[in-house]
Amino acid sequence: MRDILAAEGRRFLNTVIWSWAGWRAAWASEKSLRQWTVVNLLSATLAFALHLTPGERALILALGLLVLAAELINTAVEEVVDHILPQPHPVAKKAKDCGSACVALAALAGGVAWAVILIG
């Protein structure tokens, strides 16, 4: 049992290390990730400053994290596409555009949540 726990602990630690490395790499190269992070910090500040229910606050915070996750996925898609197809190609354009649309939809979901909470 101790060996299993130790292996799981190492696996979890490796996951944390690799995830942090991914965040740092994207942060260093992606202006849009930095911009979405600022938007999320402002959104979270507002979510805690306003009189929201715990559910409303959780929704706002979770959707903000979803936008950051979508941006990281988009970054990963762009990196792989650029590595495999460095020259302009319709397939590369489609993949990149779909990644961008993923970020846009996640951001739109966050905006809709804010609108419904503030209007309702």
Domains of the chain: which residue ranges? 31-119
Per-residue confidence at 3, pLDDT binned at 50, 70, 90?
Answer: confident
Which residue reads 């993949």 in tokens? 95
Question: What is the average pLDDT across 43-72?
Answer: 98
pTM of the model: 0.90
Do residues 96 and 49 touch, judged by C-beta distance below 8 A?
no
Per the residue annotation, which of 8, 56, 71, 79 is the catalytic one? 71
Average pLDDT over residues 101-110: 98
Q: Is 27 annotated as a binding residue?
A: yes
CATH of 31-119, one of 2.40.50.140, 1.10.1370.30, 1.10.287.3610, 3.40.50.410: 1.10.287.3610
Distance of CA 79 to the CA centre of its chain: 16
10 labelled binding-site residue? no
Q: What is the DSSP letter of 50?
A: S
Write out pLDDT tens, residues 58-87: 999 999 999 999 999 999 999 999 999 999
Predicted confidence band of residue 26 (pLDDT cuts 50, 70, 90): very high
26 among annotated binding-site residues? yes
Q: Is 71 an annotated catalytic residue?
A: yes
